[in-house]
Amino acid sequence: MGNTFGQLFRITTWGESHGGGVGVVLDGCPPCIELSKEDIQPDLDRRRPGQSKIVTPRDEKDRVEILSGVFEGKTLGTPIMMWVKNKDARPEAYSEMAEKFRPSHADFTYQTKYGIRNWQGGGRSSARETIGRVAAGAVAKKVLKERHGVEVLAYVKQVQDIVSEVNLDSVTLEQIESNMVRCPDSACAEKMIDRIESIRKAGDSVGGIVEGIARGVPVGWGSPVFDRLEADLAKAMLSLPASKGFDVGSGFDGIRFTGIQHNDHYRADDEGNVFTTSNRSGGVQGGISNGQPVYFRVAFKPTATVMHEQDTVDSSSKNTTLKGRGRHDPCVLPRAVPMVEAMTALVLMDHALRHKAQCT
């Protein structure tokens, strides 16, 4: 019913923003993978609130607990359940939202669809739901790296009109994590931080683009027609809170080329290994990976909650106004980076297992 993602490497997330906790059940992880909390916690630390002045100040440590599926430090091949306890919930900050719908939030649509909603922090529509995704994604990243030699990274490409220049072939995690905005272009990162800080002080919010890359993906992952690799990546990314756009390879910029200009030419090295001399396809052709790096971009809108009075309606369909309260990100991008990595890894791990099941 919309809470489960994946086929063979499958997750189901659970919990609400201001409930007792949030978590995930991961099914399909291969057995005998060495796994501990220390493999998962670093990505949750990158996702957690309160980590810098340009994210929400909610004070959550987000310490993960593994409840099942691991024995003596290794995966059992059975469902892995992980969870994080909510410790700094402040539902009283949302009391006015019990009757009034926040502009551009999910309040109105949830209430209309289900006839009930958890108005404390947004419930399931809160980005806090992504804790389960990031925890499961950390497991997927570990298996991809150890068994398939695949590395998954993401970084902030753009904040509003500030665009970074990053080499997709050489960018490293250390470069990405070198500053609070997670942009490996250090000069551009300072401008981004200044912009987000000024927007935050004005009680407003701002959006931008996260770019993702997977290096080492072999030829053959992905399936025609409806399970194309880029189609599953698109669904994964557009399922993230505040995401509004997705493109892969040359994406929307590809319309400026002719076919001759856009085609990725095939060549073979002395050992017969096939490669392309360019990568405008983004590592995917016909919905199947071609052995080149897979790269894409995800657009995130400005955070919906702003600290200004705005027009809205209440639960009785009466016109009213509402000013944002509570603790919110002025820009989701820095914390969206590990979310994009997680969803990328989940898609790739699922397709790795599906390829093995059908073709090897």
3-state secondary structure the chain: CCCEECCCCEEEEEECCCCCEEEEEEECCCCCCECCHHHHHHHHHHHCCCCCCCCCCCCCCCCCEEEECEECCEECCCCEEEEEECCCCCHHHHHHHHCECCCCCCHHHHHHHHCCCCCCCCHHHCHHHHHHHHHHHHHHHHHHHHHHCCEEEEEEEEECCEECCCCCCCCCHHHHCCCCCCCCCHHHHHHHHHHHHHHHHCCCCCCEEEEEEEECCCECCCCCCCCCHHHHHHHHHHCCCCEEEEEECCHHHHHHCCHHHHCCCEEECCCCCEEECCCCCCCEECCEEECCCEEEEEEECCCCCCCCEEEEEECCCCEEEEECCCCCCCCCHHHHHHHHHHHHHHHHHHHHHHHHHHHC
51: left (phi over 0), alpha (psi -120 to 50) or beta: alpha
What's the number of domains the chain is made of?
1
Q: Would you state the pLDDT for residue 95? A: 81
- pLDDT at residue 109 tops 80: yes
Confidence of residue 80 (pLDDT cuts 50, 70, 90): very high
Asked which of 58-62, 173-177, 296-300 is least confident by mean pLDDT, the reply is 58-62
In the chain, the percentage of residues whose pLDDT exceeds 90 is 86
CATH classification of the domain holding 79:
3.60.150.10
Q: How far apart are the first and last CA of the chain?
A: 32
Q: Would you state the pLDDT for residue 356? A: 96
The mean pLDDT value for 320-338 works out to 90
Confidence of residue 57 (pLDDT cuts 50, 70, 90): confident
Residue numbers of the domain that contains 11: 4-359
- Measured between alpha carbons, how far is residue 348 from residues 5, 7, 242, 343 in Å? 12, 11, 22, 9
Asked which of 5-9, 203-207, 275-279, 328-332 is least confident by mean pLDDT, the reply is 328-332
The 10s digit of each residue's pLDDT in 16-53 is 988 889 999 999 999 999 999 999 999 999 999 888 88
In the chain, the percentage of residues whose pLDDT exceeds 70 is 98
The mean pLDDT value for 105-131 works out to 91
Confidence of residue 58 (pLDDT cuts 50, 70, 90): confident
What letters, b where the CB count within 10 A reaches 16 and e where it falls short, cover 168-198? eeebebebbeebbbbbbbeebbebbbebbee
Q: Would you state the pLDDT for residue 91? A: 67
The mean pLDDT value for 253-268 works out to 98
The mean pLDDT value for 247-269 works out to 98
Q: Would you state the pLDDT for residue 119? A: 87
Q: Would you state the pLDDT for residue 94? A: 76
The structure's pTM equals 0.96
The mean pLDDT value for 253-265 works out to 98
The mean pLDDT value for 212-231 works out to 97
The mean pLDDT value for 240-261 works out to 97
